[in-house]
Each structure stands twice: as structure tokens, then as C-alpha cells.
């Protein structure tokens, strides 16, 4: 059985210079039981929040990749294009002793580009057709490989560290202004230590 919802896998997603800059935040000193997120937000072409990255760099990433993301959103779920409110560039360092059970993204996330950064080898992201884990398919880990997927009814997924080093990814998402506190999508499980 194959995955029934749309997604793309793109190798060498970031240009060499952008990949090199983002690679500086590899999280090798991360506590194995923690998740660290550094979020950067762009609204109307203006950087409104910059955490650890320089605003000019965030603006450069936005200028290069935002048009492509809008195109993918148009291809995958065109009815959501007018809902785009902000774009979020998030560096995520996932402790090596953790796993994220099957879940869906918050309603505000319309499209996500998840790019594998470090380490050189790790577990990829597992996609499912539904919350019962039918159609399981793993997008294999490869540095600078991007998984592009929309937030649709059945876009269930999970991931975990291989356990040797923290799992460092960059999430770049298009988001609406939906209120995530009142309209959370159903989630099975949560962030838990690996057993």
C-alpha cells in the first residue's frame, strides 16, 4: 500500500551557502532528553521574529524559497492558498533519547518543508495514510533532503532519533492565522522517551 496523500521528496534542497549557514546550529551539545526550537517568522515579506539567525539571512531564505512553497501549496491544496498568513523557519534539535509518536500538524500549518540536516545518518520520517498507521512509508534520511507535505486530513507522520546524536532538522512552513489552542488536530501519543 502506498501513501494516498500528496508529498514530494527533494534532494539538495538548500543551496550550498544556505545549507552551510544553517548547519552551524547542529545541536551536538543538546541534552538527549530535550527538544530545542529556534523560530523565525516572516509576515508580508518582513521578518517579524528572528531567534538565532540574522534577519538578513532569514529574509534571503524567504525570498528564495517562499515562491516555491506557494507553488507547491497551489499544486497540493489550492483552496488553502488564500489562507497563508506567515511563513515560519524553525530550527529543531531533537534529543537523541526521544521519539515523536504518530501525529498530525497543528491546523495553522498549511504546508511544511522538512529538511534533514545532521547527523549524516539517522532515521527519516514515517508517513501513514491514517491514524491506524496504514500504508507506512519511511522517507529515508539524507542530509539536505527535503520532505514537502501539506496539512491534509490524513497526513499522519512520526519520527525518532537513531540514538547516536541529536536529530537536527529545519522546518519551513506556510501558516494561516488559525488559533491552535482551541482547534488542535487529534494527536495519538506525544513526545516520549524511546523505550
- Per residue in 87-143, pLDDT (tens digit) is 999 988 887 767 778 888 888 999 999 999 999 999 899 899 888 888 889 999 999
Is there a domain that residue 75 lies in? Answer: yes
> What's the mean per-residue pLDDT of the chain?
85
Is there a domain that residue 193 lies in? Answer: no
Q: In degrees rounded to 5, what are phi and psi of residue 20?
A: -60, -45
Task: Kindly indicate the confidence band of residue 27, based on its pLDDT and cuts at 50, 70 and 90.
Answer: low
Is there a domain that residue 164 lies in? Answer: yes
Q: In degrees rounded to 5, what are phi and psi of residue 109?
A: -75, 120
Is there a domain that residue 2 lies in? Answer: no
Rounded to two decimals, what is the model's pTM?
Answer: 0.86
Contact 152, 185 (CB under 8 A): no
Give the count of domains, the chain: 1
All cell numbers assigned to 71: 507553488
Cβ-Cβ contacts under 8 Å for 144 (sequence gap 6 or more):
11, 12, 13, 14, 19, 115, 116, 117
The pLDDT score that the predictor gives to residue 187 is 35
Could you list the residue range(s) of the whole structural domain that residue 135 is in?
8-182
User: Degrees (nearest 5) of the Cα angle 150, 116, 158?
Assistant: 55
Q: Which uninterrupted H or E stretch holds 174?
A: strand 167-175
Is there a domain that residue 26 lies in? Answer: yes
> Comparing 41 with 99, which gets the higher pLDDT?
41
**Which of the given ranges, 27-36, 49-58, 74-83, has the highest pLDDT on average?**
74-83
Is there a domain that residue 188 lies in? Answer: no
Is there a domain that residue 133 lies in? Answer: yes
In the predicted structure, residue 191 carries a pLDDT above the cut 60: no
Q: What is the CATH number of the domain that holds 128?
A: 2.60.120.620
Contact 136, 94 (CB under 8 A): no
Is there a domain that residue 102 lies in? Answer: yes
Cβ-Cβ contacts under 8 Å for 63 (sequence gap 6 or more):
none
Amino acid at each position: 500500500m502506498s501513501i494516498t496523500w500528496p508529498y514530494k521528496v527533494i534532494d539538495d534542497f538548500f543551496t550550498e551557502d544556505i545549507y552551510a549557514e544553517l548547519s552551524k546550529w547542529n545541536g551536538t551539545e543538546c541534552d538527549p532528553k530535550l527538544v530545542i526550537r529556534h523560530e523565525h517568522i516572516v509576515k508580508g515579506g518582513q521578518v517579524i521574529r528572528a531567534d538565532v539567525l540574522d534577519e538578513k539571512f532569514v529574509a534571503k531564505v524567504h525570498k528564495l524559497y517562499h515562491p516555491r512553497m506557494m507553488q507547491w501549496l497551489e499544486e497540493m491544496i489550492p483552496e488553502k492558498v488564500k489562507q497563508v498568513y506567515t511563513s515560519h523557519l524553525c530550527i529543531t534539535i531533537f534529543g537523541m533519547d526521544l521519539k515523536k509518536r504518530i501525529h498530525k500538524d497543528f491546523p495553522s500549518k498549511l504546508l511544511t518543508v522538512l529538511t534533514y540536516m545532521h547527523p549524516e545518518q539517522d532515521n527519516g520520517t514515517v508517513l501513514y495514510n491514517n491514524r491506524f498507521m496504514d500504508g507506512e512509508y519511511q522517507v529515508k534520511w539524507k542530509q539536505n533532503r527535503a520532505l514537502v507535505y501539506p496539512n491534509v486530513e490524513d497526513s499522519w507522520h512520526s519520527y525518532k532519533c537513531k540514538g547516536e546524536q541529536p536529530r537536527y532538522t529545519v522546518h519551513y512552513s506556510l501558516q494561516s492565522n488559525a488559533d491552535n489552542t482551541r482547534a488542535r488536530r487529534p494527536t495519538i501519543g506525544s513526545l516520549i522517551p524511546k523505550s
